[in-house]
């Protein structure tokens, strides 16, 4: 992996908590979101999500669907399996895309300098991510929030991120779980172990929509298989009591999960119609002008870094040290992006969300 005079591929020395997989082709979140801790590099919450999709579908396709077709003999018989399969494939593809795609990560200062991409990112974003060319951040969050962000940009909602040491756009936020700023940050989702932002929000909506439709097809069929009298009589000859109990518990768990998914989908539909992100709704803060950037039907936005670029590791910050600094800043209750409203930020316990 080492080449070009001791330099490394960027994805092997990524200075934040996110992790690259498939040799830098995919990126996933930083784990550790309370209350679920990671297990062997895979968050329990995302494992639960995959199990909630795969287990009921396996039972549906292998047992429940053949039983339905045998007993009801729907015509044409292949319509139901085909529709179910299409929804299952859509759910898995959208889930994978949400878990493993770049949500719109904004590279931190040292990364921009190490890769020499200041000019190209400035052209893409329309403002200099690093602030005025002649100035360097002092390390004092309040001072930098004033001097590193031009007054004109501040009035338009641009803010200084002390952790990344960059000027971030109005709807971007710093994800504490992934330790990086994300364009049009919506929220960090532990169930897909990734941020949901400008570049993967439509994948997330696609996943919740497909999963909800799939659940509407799978859950009633599973319930019917479990509770229909004639099916029960047929199955009781072979089934043992504990297996039937597990089936009841599993079925109700899946039904409850599907219900929660429906609530989540309705909530995001409401957000899309209002043009808000989850973050903006929960905090009550809103960018001044979002008319040109709807949350759903907006351009996906460019990728602001190349994971395969060659970098000198010495030019990049240590991820752990950076995270530690971030946490100590949070403990100090410092407000980095909104000095005028520091009390609200202290209440959130966030340094530069
Ligand atoms: Zn940041
Ligand atoms: Zn995140």
For the ranges 89-103, 264-278, 285-299, the lowest mean pLDDT is seen at 285-299
In a domain, 341, yes or no: no
d(CA 314, CA 317) in angstroms, rounded, equals 8
Query: Is the pLDDT score of 269 beyond 60?
Result: yes
> 53-61 — which CB contacts under 8 Å span 24+ positions?
53/91, 53/92, 53/95, 53/211, 53/214, 55/250, 56/218, 56/219, 56/222, 56/250, 56/254, 57/88, 57/214, 57/218, 59/222, 60/84, 60/218, 60/221, 60/222, 61/85, 61/88
In a domain, 345, yes or no: no
Query: Is the pLDDT score of 19 beyond 70?
Result: yes
pLDDT at 46: 86
Give the C-alpha distances (Å, rounded to integers) separating 233 from 6, 78, 249, 344: 70, 27, 19, 61
In a domain, 342, yes or no: no
Averaged pLDDT of the chain: 80
pLDDT at 232: 55
**Which residue(s) pair with 180 in the sheet?**
175
Give the C-alpha distances (Å, rounded to integers) separating 202 from 18, 21, 95, 195, 295: 20, 21, 11, 13, 9
Tell me if residue 275 falls in helix, strand or coil: coil
pLDDT at 317: 63
Q: What is the DSSP letter of 73?
A: -
Average pLDDT over residues 38-64: 83
Ligand 1 centroid distance, CA of 29 (Å): 15
- Ligand nearest to C-alpha 108: 1
Ligand 1 centroid distance, CA of 334 (Å): 14
Contact residues for 213 (Cβ-Cβ < 8 A; gap 6+)? 87
For the ranges 73-77, 184-188, 202-206, 336-340, the lowest mean pLDDT is seen at 336-340
Ligand 2 centroid distance, CA of 15 (Å): 14
Q: Per-residue pLDDT tens for 220-259?
A: 898 888 777 555 555 555 555 666 777 778 888 888 989 9
Query: Is the pLDDT score of 352 beyond 70?
Result: no
- Ligand nearest to C-alpha 189: 2
Query: Is the pLDDT score of 339 beyond 60?
Result: no
Distinct helix (H) and strand (E) counts, the chain: 13, 13
Query: Is the pLDDT score of 183 beyond 80?
Result: yes
pLDDT at 112: 92
Average pLDDT over residues 319-332: 42
Q: What single string gives the DSSP state of each residue in 182-216?
A: ETT--EEETTTTEEE-TTTHHHHHHHHHHHHHHHH
pLDDT at 349: 31
Ligand 1 centroid distance, CA of 350 (Å): 12
pLDDT at 315: 74
pLDDT at 323: 45
- Ligand nearest to C-alpha 326: 1
pLDDT at 187: 94
Positive/negative CA dihedral, 252, 255, 259, 265: positive
Catalytic residue check, 175: no
In a domain, 346, yes or no: no
d(CA 169, CA 143) in angstroms, rounded, equals 19
Ligand 1 centroid distance, CA of 1 (Å): 28
- Ligand nearest to C-alpha 322: 1
Structure tokens at 127: 């403002």
d(CA 182, CA 205) in angstroms, rounded, equals 18
- Ligand nearest to C-alpha 107: 1
Structure tokens at 19: 């992790």
- Which has more confidence, 102 or 236? 102
Please give all residues whose CB falls under 5 A of ion ligand 2, grouped by chain where several chains appear.
29, 175, 177-178, 188, 195
Tell me if residue 156 falls in helix, strand or coil: coil
In a domain, 321, yes or no: no
- Domain that residue 64 falls in: 1-313
Ligand 1 centroid distance, CA of 117 (Å): 17
Catalytically annotated residue among 175, 189, 195, 225: 189
In a domain, 36, yes or no: yes
Query: Is the pLDDT score of 345 beyond 90?
Result: no
In a domain, 324, yes or no: no
Ligand 1 centroid distance, CA of 38 (Å): 23
In a domain, 320, yes or no: no
Query: Is the pLDDT score of 164 beyond 70?
Result: yes
Ligand 1 centroid distance, CA of 35 (Å): 23
Give the C-alpha distances (Å, rounded to integers) separating 295 from 73, 99, 121, 155, 271: 44, 19, 22, 22, 8
Element (H, E) at 19: strand 19-21
Q: Per-residue pLDDT tens for 141-163?
A: 889 888 899 898 998 889 999 99
Judged on CB neighbours under 10 Å (0-12, 13-18, 19+), 270 is: exposed
Average pLDDT over residues 276-289: 81
Query: Is the pLDDT score of 82 beyond 90?
Result: yes
**Which residue(s) pair with 43 in the sheet?**
38
Domain count, the chain: 1
Q: Per-residue pLDDT tens for 22-34?
A: 888 888 887 654 5
d(CA 292, CA 184) in angstroms, rounded, equals 13
């Amino acid at each position: 992996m080492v080449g070009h005079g001791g330099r490394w591929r960027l994805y092997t020395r990524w200075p934040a908590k996110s992790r690259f997989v498939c040799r830098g082709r995919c990126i996933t979140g930083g784990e550790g979101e309370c209350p679920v801790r990671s297990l062997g590099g895979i968050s329990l919450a995302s494992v639960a999500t995959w199990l909630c999709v795969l287990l009921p579908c396996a039972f549906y396709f292998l047992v429940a669907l053949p039983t339905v077709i045998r007993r009801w003999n729907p015509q044409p018989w292949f319509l139901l399996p085909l529709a179910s399969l299409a929804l299952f494939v859509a759910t898995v593809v959208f889930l994978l895309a949400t878990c493993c795609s770049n949500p719109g990560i904004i590279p931190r200062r040292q990364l921009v300098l190490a890769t020499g991409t200041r000019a190209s990112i400035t052209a893409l974003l329309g403002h200099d991510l690093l602030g005025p060319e002649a100035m360097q951040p002092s390390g004092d969050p309040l001072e930098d929030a004033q001097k590193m962000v031009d007054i004109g940009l501040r009035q338009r909602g641009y803010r200084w991120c002390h952790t990344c040491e960059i000027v971030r756009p109005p709807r971007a936020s710093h994800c504490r779980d992934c330790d990086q700023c994300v364009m049009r940050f919506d929220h960090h989702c532990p169930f897909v172990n990734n941020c949901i932002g400008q570049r993967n929000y439509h994948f997330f909506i696609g996943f919740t929509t497909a999963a909800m439709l799939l659940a509407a097809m799978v859950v009633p069929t599973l319930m019917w298989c479990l509770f229909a009298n004639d099916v029960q009589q047929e199955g009781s000859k072979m089934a043992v009591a504990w297996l039937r109990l597990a089936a009841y518990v599993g079925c109700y768990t899946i039904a409850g999960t599907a219900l929660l998914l429906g609530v989540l989908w309705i909530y995001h539909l409401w957000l899309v119609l209002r043009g808000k992100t989850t973050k903006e709704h929960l905090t009550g803060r809103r960018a001044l002008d979002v008319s040109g950037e709807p949350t759903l039907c907006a351009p996906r936005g460019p990728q602001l870094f190349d994971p395969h670029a060659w970098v000198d590791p010495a030019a990049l910050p240590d991820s752990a040290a950076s995270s530690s600094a971030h946490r100590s800043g949070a403990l100090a209750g410092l407000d980095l992006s909104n000095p005028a409203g520091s009390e609200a930020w202290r209440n959130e316990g966030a340094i530069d969300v």
